[in-house]
């Protein structure tokens, strides 16, 4: 399944990009959004952050972030969808903040999934910047769907994901090569030889036929083309060498290999500035994670049966909760490795790529109890001037003392419907719409609110 809005790939992106053409030393802000099914493992009823904004303790399920805590801003306490099946409704809501209250099935999305009334944040930013969005899925699916619906355009049309790294590769890397050529000539040889040979020969041919200002423009283009060829052919600040272009990925890969390949493609597309925004959906398919049970015994995977969703993610026992935390920590460790790779990648401005990147982690729920009242959103990287190494403990409101904060949402007609929940845990004063407003601004898209106005309280200050 191809990812709509992924663009024509590396070739088209290069020649629309001052970054790749060597015409600027200013690095753009890149955004990567990573939703993980069932959330990232923190359950505040068992273990929570503690301490101060800069002197805080990270709870056990997220302890892997200690290795990169200097890159992290833990935005703690954003409320999400508060009606219906928390999984299904939240998939439509987590990136749009625009799902009408109380709706169920959608003709477009199928049973249980309501249709939003506005675009997702990835589409909004990509559209405003006129840049490609890369959407890829590593098993991000449930309830019989090939992938969960989270990305939408301005007409609420679902934006599909590439569901294999090979398909993503073919869209991003392979167009550089003559598709009739042999397997050995894919990717890097296309970058090094065929593309520049063709463009240079064609430009020189046109130079013989024109003069004046048109000839001057073509000569400038040829100079830039030669400079780009030099940059791709050798290493340098913010450049991609031929050796960076991977061989074509195989078929039928496991989820870990798919994730590694996706991370590689995201890093290359960010560095080359072919894409400014990416969405990487992570599913529950990894099965061989290590964890320790309540008696201190080492365990591997789901020891309770063959239904991860019910037996592990909903953890009705202490051991099941420990299994879930171990599962989430496996994804944390994979992400930590990717962030460390971005720390070692030089951007066009001479800084590290992570300094110009924002990674936002989210999920449709946060706990086995379908908690959406006060979710954690780890933000990683320094793009847009984010101050890192912090825990932002955002304010809550009580379900019976909401202090004037509207908790609920509009229906499709615009009528506001207040949530009748008056028991249980506190609600986050801020909705995740406030975070997306802040992220859009940091990416160079000036907006004052996002999604439904009723969800907007105040942007989250990250700088």
Q: Which pLDDT band holds residue 1 (cuts at 50, 70, 90)?
A: very low
What is the model's pLDDT at position 122?
98
Q: What is the number of other CB atoms lying within 10 angstroms of the CB of residue 199? A: 17
DSSP 8-state symbol, 315: -
What is the model's pLDDT at position 174?
62
Taking 60 as the threshold, does the pLDDT of residue 38 lie above it?
yes
Q: In the CATH hierarchy, which fold is given to the domain comprising 10-173+253-455?
A: Alkaline Phosphatase, subunit A (3.40.720)
What is the model's pLDDT at position 85?
85
CA torsion sign for 318, 321, 327, 330 is negative
Output the CA–CA distances (angstroms, integers) from residue 315 to 101, 319, 398, 451, in the order listed.
Answer: 28, 8, 26, 32
Phi/psi of residue 41, each to 5°?
A: 100, -15
Q: How far apart are CA 334 and CA 263, in angstroms?
A: 10
Q: Is 32 in contact with 19 (CB distance < 8 Å)?
A: no
What is the model's pLDDT at position 22?
60
Taking 90 as the threshold, does the pLDDT of residue 68 lie above it?
yes
Distance of CA 144 to the CA centre of its chain: 23
Of these ranges, 223-227, 230-234, 411-415, the one predicted with the greatest mean pLDDT is 411-415
For residue 8, give both structure tokens: 């024509």
Q: Is 190 in contact with 177 (CB distance < 8 Å)?
A: yes
What is the model's pLDDT at position 134?
96
Q: How far apart are CA 262 and CA 173, in angstroms?
A: 12
Q: What is the pLDDT of residues 394-448, one digit of tens each?
A: 999 999 999 999 999 999 999 999 999 999 889 999 999 999 999 999 999 999 9
End-to-end CA distance of the chain: 38
What is the model's pLDDT at position 419?
93
What is the model's pLDDT at position 20?
61
Output the CA–CA distances (angstroms, integers) from residue 179 to 8, 182, 251, in the order listed.
Answer: 15, 8, 18
**DSSP readout, 394-459?**
--EEBTTB-TT---EEE-TTS-EEE----SSSPEESEEHHHHHHHHHHHTT---S--S-GGG----
Q: Is residue 317 classed exposed, middle or buried when 0-12, 13-18 and 19+ CB atoms within 10 A define those classes?
A: exposed
User: Which residues partner with 79 through β-bridges?
Assistant: 431
Quote the percentage of the chain above a pLDDT of 70. 83
Q: How far apart are CA 293 and CA 313, in angstroms?
A: 15
pTM as predicted: 0.85
50-51 and 56-57 as β-strands: parallel, antiparallel, unpaired? Answer: antiparallel
What is the model's pLDDT at position 218?
67
Q: What is the mean pLDDT of residues 49-64?
A: 95
Q: What is the pLDDT of residues 330-371, one digit of tens each?
A: 999 999 999 999 999 999 999 999 999 999 999 999 888 888
What is the model's pLDDT at position 190?
47
Q: Which pLDDT band holds residue 217 (cuts at 50, 70, 90)?
A: confident
Q: How far apart are CA 78 and CA 39, in angstroms?
A: 13
Q: How far apart are CA 278 and CA 34, in angstroms?
A: 9
Nearest to 158 by CA among 131, 123, 134, 210: 123
Q: Which pLDDT band holds residue 230 (cuts at 50, 70, 90)?
A: low
**Weakest mean pLDDT among 67-76, 98-107, 352-361:** 98-107
Q: What is the pLDDT of residues 21-34, one digit of tens each?
A: 566 678 999 999 99
**Weakest mean pLDDT among 151-155, 204-208, 293-297:** 204-208
Please give the residue that has the higher pLDDT: either 393 or 197: 393
Residue for token pair 């990169």: 68
For residue 261, give both structure tokens: 């390949």
What is the model's pLDDT at position 367?
84
Taking 50 as the threshold, does the pLDDT of residue 318 lie above it?
yes
Q: What is the mean pLDDT of residues 63-70?
A: 97
Supply the mean pLDDT for the chain.
86
Nearest to 443 by CA among 55, 127, 62, 12: 127
Q: Is 322 in contact with 43 (CB distance < 8 Å)?
A: no
72-79 and 390-393 as β-strands: parallel, antiparallel, unpaired? Answer: parallel
What is the model's pLDDT at position 452?
97
What is the model's pLDDT at position 142?
77
CA torsion 194-195-199-201 (nearest 10°) is: -10
Q: What is the pLDDT of residues 250-277, one digit of tens each?
A: 999 999 999 999 999 999 999 988 899 9
Q: Which pLDDT band holds residue 12 (cuts at 50, 70, 90)?
A: low
Q: What is the pLDDT of residues 154-203, one digit of tens each?
A: 999 999 899 999 999 988 886 533 332 334 444 444 444 555 566 666 66
For residue 146, give both structure tokens: 């090939």
Nearest to 171 by CA among 338, 33, 342, 4: 4
What residues does CATH 3.40.720.10 cover in the chain?
A: 10-173+253-455
Helix (H) or strand (E) holding 73: strand 72-79
């Amino acid at each position: 399944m191809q990812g709509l809005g992924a663009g024509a790939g590396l070739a088209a992106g290069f020649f629309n990009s001052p970054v790749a053409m060597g015409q600027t030393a200013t690095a753009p802000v890149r955004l990567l959004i990573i939703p993980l099914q069932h959330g990232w493992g923190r359950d505040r009823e068992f273990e929570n952050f503690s301490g101060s904004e800069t002197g805080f303790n990270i709870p056990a399920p997220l302890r892997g972030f200690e290795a990169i805590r200097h890159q992290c801003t833990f935005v703690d306490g954003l409320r999400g969808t508060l009606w219906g099946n928390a999984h299904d409704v939240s998939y439509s809501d987590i990136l749009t903040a625009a799902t009408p209250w109380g709706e169920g099935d959608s003709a477009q999305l199928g049973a249980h999934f309501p249709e939003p009334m506005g675009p997702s944040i990835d589409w909004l930013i990509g559209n405003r910047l006129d840049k490609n969005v890369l959407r890829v899925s590593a098993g991000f699916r449930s309830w019989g769907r090939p992938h969960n619906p989270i990305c939408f355009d301005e007409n609420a049309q679902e934006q599909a994901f590439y569901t294999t790294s090979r398909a993503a590769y073919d869209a991003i890397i392979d167009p550089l090569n003559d598709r009739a050529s042999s397997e050995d000539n894919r990717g890097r040889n296309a970058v090094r030889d065929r593309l520049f040979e063709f463009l240079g020969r064609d430009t020189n041919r046109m130079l013989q036929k024109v003069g004046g200002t048109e000839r001057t423009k073509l000569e400038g283009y040829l100079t830039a083309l030669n400079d780009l060829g030099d940059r791709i052919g050798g290493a340098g600040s913010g450049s991609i060498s031929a050796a960076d272009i991977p061989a074509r990925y195989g078929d039928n890969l496991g989820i870990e290999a798919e994730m590694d390949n996706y991370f590689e493609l995201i890093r290359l597309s960010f560095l080359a500035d072919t894409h400014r925004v990416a969405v990487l959906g992570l599913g529950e398919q990894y099965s061989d994670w290590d964890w320790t049970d309540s008696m201190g015994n080492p365990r591997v995977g789901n020891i309770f049966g063959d239904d991860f969703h019910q037996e592990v993610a909903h953890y009705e026992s202490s051991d099941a909760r420990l299994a879930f935390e171990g599962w989430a920590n496996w994804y944390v460790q994979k992400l930590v490795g990717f962030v460390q790779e971005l720390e070692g990648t030089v951007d066009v401005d001479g800084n590290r790529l992570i300094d110009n990147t924002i990674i936002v982690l989210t999920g449709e729920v946060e706990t086995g109890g379908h908690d959406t009242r006060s979710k954690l959103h780890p933000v990683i990287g320094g793009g847009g001037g984010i101050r890192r190494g912090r825990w932002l403990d955002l304010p809550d409101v009580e379900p019976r003392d909401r202090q004037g904060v509207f908790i609920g949402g509009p229906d499709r007609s615009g009528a506001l419907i207040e949530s009748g929940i008056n028991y249980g845990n506190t609600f986050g004063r801020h909705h995740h719409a406030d975070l997306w407003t802040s992220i859009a601004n940091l990416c160079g898209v000036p907006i004052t609110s996002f999604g439904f106005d009723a969800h907007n309280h105040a942007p989250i200050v990250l700088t």
